[in-house]
A and B are shown apart, each in its own frame.
Chain A
């Protein structure tokens, strides 16, 4: 932890991610207005003391919508990456521990998944299902586990020959005990790093999908679909497109910085 805090990248990343997380958590307490309250007398007001980020085409307060949008965008990021990490760790562990034909099968599955353009895959699945926040989390999760799988497998392959694993095995530890007590805890660093970086890319993908109208559906606010509304009014109301874009940029930047910082701080190979 001390090494993480000594790393300037990680500090900035931690600060940004904590701020966005707190804003999202306490959105109902912070938001000055109801994010869905339509007020036809207050349409497209530019940013002012009463509406910090202005109002949109239906007179809704953009700042409040941004706060509630943060909840949706971050939740999609966390859940999608959670799904991807669980799948990736399980498959990678099986692959690296048991090797043999299971390993060959899983690695070929990874190759196949990596050769289908991810965004096409996600859109195709969304086209056959209905776009809803749950479907989006599941789809992003199911299409982004390949990196973690490869990582965990590589860690397991190198760890399983190490003395502490061999000695545990010699003492009669079973497969599950070896995997969950010995191998997995020693592979945590790369898993954590890839999880943090994964949140960044999931937030980007979700905002892209919502921007195309195939993600989170209005009236539920997400940064992506606030931006879609903003696109319509870009000539009269710059604030509608500026703020959600900046929010996505900073959030993604935060998770990337945190991820890279953690990698630098925790990986003994890169510190010198």
Chain B
């Protein structure tokens, strides 16, 4: 088991190098170099900030040296300072000469996005699993049909449109839910319970929206997995020896069907993180997605590069956690039977 985890951790090294290469290439996609792009998009760009940009990315050096610097800064998680937001540090807090601490932009945004993603994963897991099982057990009957229709609509639903509709219907028309931000204006004066309820109300639609696609996909996946497992010989055996149907389904079938789900949840992380752009910018939630969107609009390159890299690193960590969880849940891997 330890060996397996170690192998997985070591494997992240080459992946990170690959990510650094691709992000470096993207930076060099811009016609000319990024300072000309910066200047053409933002006529107010001063000569001074162009010089800063050149210095930050070592644009005067040969390309291979530039990449070396980029790689070094990635390893140190140093993404420089934002151009647009008063020179705030992109990733982590810094202390100036007077000992004042300036919080990093990603440092503040990341917990919010992580929380939304963990909540959506919990929602996906707790709804998709029963839906998939019900669908498989009532295959070709009314409830299976209804769930299948829901799955297909969930797949095809443009999340931002549904968010807009829910925002208008529940927020504006019926005034049931707040439509922007993470807390109400008077949140500071609330007690813990009221504060949590308030944040929950703000997060209800965004979490639902970011979970919808995964919900549909994973219910379908659980259903197909269950259908596969239910046709296996050991299920017939279990039934033949007279086990109650519930034991057969929950102890024998489900435990085999839901294993691949862990990997799938891990694989859905990049989609969830990437998807946060739309939900967060629509609901003005100050997470990484909104930060990224604002940075793209302002062409704030250090922030763009920082979030791209941190987002990918988060994905790698998520996949690693999924792998470990899988190894822990599957006795074949846990005891080292299979590779």
Contacts and interface: CB of A to CB of B under 8 A. Distances in A.
B273 A253 contact: no
Interface residues of A, number: 46
Given A115-B316, A253-B153, A123 B277 contact: yes
B156 A256 contact: yes
Interface stretch (B22-30, B126-134, B251-259): B22-30
Interface in B8-30: 14-15, 18-19, 21-23, 26-27, 29-30
A214 to B, nearest CB: 7
A68 interface: no
Given A129-B29, A208-B158, A113 B22 contact: yes
- Most chain A C-beta atoms within 10 Å of own C-beta, residue among B27, B157, B267: B157
Interface in B264-318: 267, 270-271, 273-275, 277-278, 281, 292-293, 295-297, 299, 301, 304-305, 307-308, 311-312, 315-316
- Most chain B C-beta atoms within 10 Å of own C-beta, residue among A117, A118, A125: A117
Nearest to B155: A256
A112 B15 contact: yes
Interface in B149-188: 152-153, 155-162, 164-165, 168, 172
A112 B312 CA distance: 9
B18 A111 contact: yes
Chain A residues touching B, majority SS:
helix
A11 to B, nearest CB: 14
A121 B19 CA distance: 11
A120 B29 contact: no
Given A108-B14, A211-B278, A117 B160 contact: no
A249 B161 contact: yes
A227 B160 CA distance: 10
A252 B34 CA distance: 36
Contact of B152 (A113, A117, A119, A256): A256
A109 B15 CA distance: 9
A212 B293 contact: yes
A204 B158 CA distance: 6
B168 A234 contact: yes
Contact of A117 (B165, B278, B315): B315
A29 interface: no
A106 to B, nearest CB: 12
Contacts of A230: 164
A125 B26 contact: yes
B293 A252 contact: no
